[in-house]
Amino acid sequence: ISEKTVATYRERAAEKLGLRSRAELVRWAVEEKLV
């Protein structure tokens, strides 16, 4: 998949989770034990 596709998925996930930055998305993933 392309970089743009990944960026779009990341943006949509952050929006649905109410997160404003990539750092918040990473923190959420760590807290949920996804990474």
Q: What residue ranges do the domains of the chain occupy?
A: 3-32
CA distance 4 to 29: 20
Query: What confidence score (pLDDT) does residue 32 get?
Result: 96
Contact 19, 25 (CB under 8 A): yes
Give the pLDDT confidence score for residue 26 in this predicted structure: 94
Q: Output the pLDDT for position 33.
A: 96
Contacts of residue 26, defined as CB under 8 A and 6 or more positions apart, other chains included, come to: 35
Helices then strands, counting H and E runs in the chain, come out as 2, 0
pLDDT reported for residue 21:
93
**Chain segment 1-35, per-residue pLDDT in tens:** 999 999 999 999 999 999 999 999 999 999 999 98
